[in-house]
Structure 1
Amino acid sequence: MKPCLLLLLAFTLPLRAEVQQQLEQTPYIAWGTSQPTLGAVLRSATPITYGGQRFIGYTRWDINWRFFWYQRGNGRCQIRHPLTRLNAQMTLPDLRGGNSQIHAQFDQYLRALKRHEMGHYAIAQAAANAIDERLQTLPEQVDCSTLQRVANEQAQGILEHYRQQEFDYDLQTGHGISQGAVLPD
């Protein structure tokens, strides 16, 4: 009798799962001997353009969510198992060639730039966790189509909130300048 009770509980209690995360780091090569300064080297080498601007580093992220629900006999519906996935790609320069002075400047700059880009990733992680938490705690709805609509609307609203946070983060840090990501020219 106990195994049947456990099986019944498995189908009626929400399942808790962590957000699946993947961060891919993609370098691009910048040749240290191609320009006279580190700033010129990195600006000429970057393949990153966004919104008509060129950037030395960039973190792109996407969050996808799915969920399984349980429908009661009365038609009411509740999420039982959300699946939230964060995929991110961080693109940073990889300096090749050049003298020891340009490498010292690059190492200092790259540490600050990576710290800034990790801030973008931290915002993405917070967004994914907030979406997952909201899906796990969403109250039962009158039917499954309402549940699906409400869950997706709320997750999309959370996503938009964190996209705005990311925009504000760049404004507050000057795209990393206040964190030390300043290119010497």
Structure 2
Amino acid sequence: MQLVETPLKDCFILEPRIFNDDRGFFFESYNKNTFDKLLGKNIDFVQDNQSHSVYGVLRGLHFQKGVHAQAKLVRVLEGSVLDVAVDLREDSPSFGKWYSVELTDKNFKQFFIPRGFAHGFVVLSPTAIFSYKCDNFYNKASEGGLLFNDPSLNIDWNIKTEEAILSDKDQINPLFNQLDFKNLWN
């Protein structure tokens, strides 16, 4: 597995080594020892989640606050998504910046998003199955969100805004400048 740095501090793309032959392919999608060695830290994933969505479904931008903050390792099992992370850590050199990567069932890339980030994705294929590992359990009372089309962030989601299919909750998330950064991670 190869670790690729992104412009966001502590966010990484992981590219597995693919073994192809006339039967198909094989790759190791996760190995704790390899993963921790590449990142230089011990990450204990405790929850796996999976979603199935159709073209235009935009899930995000989400985060868990305080002691319930989550690091995630995400990948696509079927289809294609544009995955986006936004750095919400005030002490980070990449605070307020975002990065996106296309994750597909053909490129096998995975995206590691540490605690302190908002995260979301939009489906670019007719359907997609999205999978992610979390290092902390979900806590409804600690949900946080950021409006996907905040003009101050100017995220390019690779679809037209009117094509985005959002949950009621994601339509009313706050803007970046409305977040209380001092109390997000306490």
TM > 0.5: no
**Structure with bigger gyration radius:** 1
Q: TM-score, normalised by structure 1?
A: 0.23
Q: Choose between structure 1 and 2: higher helix proportion.
A: 1
Q: TM-score, normalised by structure 2?
A: 0.22
Q: Choose between structure 1 and 2: higher strand proportion.
A: 2
